[in-house]
Structure 1
């Protein structure tokens, strides 16, 4: 199970420094008792305990926080390559009871996406920093956060089978002055609420598509060969590999036109390569177009100009 360690929050102290003085008296605020990582790690443990509960049996001592989440908005798809960090904005509405102080320094809320079961996910992703909430009434707030993805050998957050539909959830934790790094930390005074079923998004293996038409120039009505390749990110070896047996459209655009027209549809071979022939009748651009799948986004090759003489 690949679930990001909560200590990742240490790398994003900006915007979350208010958490660093959570449990310290005002006079001692310059020497915080706990770090951002301590609070994020504590949230992870509380989440795990809450999700382990069955029926009336409680696995954790924390109490149920009076909050709910709605209006969860996230991109329809998150395209992830082999190396670059990907950050996706998320927004949602948080509704809470009158006794919940969401403006407290030690109140934390996060958006989450997960693959598989909410209680036992095969993978889970969240943001580097807690979401920021803007109060809109005595009991509601608009919250904005991110989902941060780090592909690559070092992070190894994703494997290829993770591509596809992910589900959305959100959580909130009120520490109420409890310092998770302190000797007197009392979990029973900490409130927590997690809510799943808030929406879905696609996490996809980024795709690339190329095209090459030859020979150039070519005499009118002579045959030209159009080659190319459709590849996609492999999250396990951090390289791009051919996407096999996928339908791809060959399209043509006249020299002075803005519109492409599909000439034919062919499939990639066992290595993701494309090859077909057409007759050259006039100057214009050829390109390959891939419509995309659940696991892999659509891709258009940049048109290759053919000079017909």
Structure 2
């Protein structure tokens, strides 16, 4: 029985790893568990979304715990995009089938590996958004656990907000000023930053001496990503734009511009 389970787990890891490397469907994958082995405490990129620019690459760390009364033996994990591992349309591999596991106690180990996302490679526009973590772990008594999605996380296209510009300045109290900026987003397919039009962006203001910004209004970007709105000057302070982002697009905050009211 033990040898059978050992072979099943090993086969699952190897076929899964090969599938993600070559983008070939593996043998049927589904959550499985034999015995009391557990995986937990999954952390990807320190708990933050993985943000990739228009060019270059981003390497992130995955770590998790494996526990079993007999002790952890080995583990493997892959990051992928799609409904399931079988239908994944992109993935990030660790570079080897089995990843590094460090013994914490007689029953627990911490496993970790690095994964790289490359713009124009495994990071293309259509896969921005929610990714998943496939994992398998074996205990020393050959018990094993396999999860098709042990942890979901975001892979996002980087965004840029040009520094806010307030004009004219200085200005008399009660006069109207215009606050401008521009929103662009990484286009992984083209390898460039492109205008991000028709997006809601928040204009914020922090009065001189205040500790926090307050929302002023919501402004939509033009087709070319430009932002422009008017406000009445009342007191000295700083204006900035803030973009909240989405599942597949990173948030961004513009450098503020300070207004001097005479």
TM norm structure 2: 0.77
Paired with 1:273 and 1:221, the residues of 2 have a C-alpha distance of: 25
Q: Who is 1:245 aligned against?
A: 198
3-state SS in 2 of match to 1:161: helix
> Offset at 1:167?
1.0
The answer to whether the Cα contact below 8 Å between 1:166 and 1:203 also exists between their aligned partners in 2 is: yes
Q: Who is 2:18 aligned against?
A: 45
Q: Who is 1:131 aligned against?
A: 99
> Offset at 1:217?
1.9
The answer to whether the Cα contact below 8 Å between 1:127 and 1:147 also exists between their aligned partners in 2 is: yes
Q: Who is 2:62 aligned against?
A: 90
Q: Who is 1:197 aligned against?
A: 149
> Offset at 1:216?
2.0
CA spacing shift, 1:170–1:283, aligned 2, 3 Å: same
Is 124-133 or 84-93 further displaced after alignment? 124-133
Q: Which runs of 4+ in 1 moved over 6 A?
A: 40-43, 46-50, 64-67
The answer to whether the Cα contact below 8 Å between 1:68 and 1:195 also exists between their aligned partners in 2 is: no
> Offset at 1:147?
2.2
Matched, 1:79 2:51: yes
> Offset at 1:204?
0.6
3-state SS in 1 of match to 2:54: coil
Q: Who is 2:8 aligned against?
A: none
CA spacing shift, 1:231–1:115, aligned 2, 3 Å: same
> Offset at 1:290?
1.2
The answer to whether the Cα contact below 8 Å between 1:93 and 1:141 also exists between their aligned partners in 2 is: yes
CA spacing shift, 1:131–1:52, aligned 2, 3 Å: closer
Paired with 2:63 and 2:48, the residues of 1 have a C-alpha distance of: 13
Q: Who is 2:124 aligned against?
A: 159
> Offset at 1:202?
0.6
1:277 to 197, 222, 230: 230
CA spacing shift, 1:53–1:196, aligned 2, 3 Å: closer
- Tell me, which stretches of 5 or more residues in structure 2 are unaligned? 1-12, 139-143
3-state SS in 2 of match to 1:165: strand
- Tell me, which stretches of 5 or more residues in structure 1 are unaligned? 1-39, 56-63, 103-108, 174-191
3-state SS in 2 of match to 1:91: strand
> Offset at 1:94?
2.7
CA spacing shift, 1:49–1:68, aligned 2, 3 Å: farther
TM norm structure 1: 0.66
Paired with 1:265 and 1:194, the residues of 2 have a C-alpha distance of: 46
Paired with 2:222 and 2:24, the residues of 1 have a C-alpha distance of: 48
For the aligned residues, what is the CA RMSD?
3.3
Paired with 1:298 and 1:124, the residues of 2 have a C-alpha distance of: 23
CA spacing shift, 1:205–1:193, aligned 2, 3 Å: same
Matched, 1:121 2:94: no
Matched, 1:206 2:158: yes
Matched, 1:290 2:243: yes
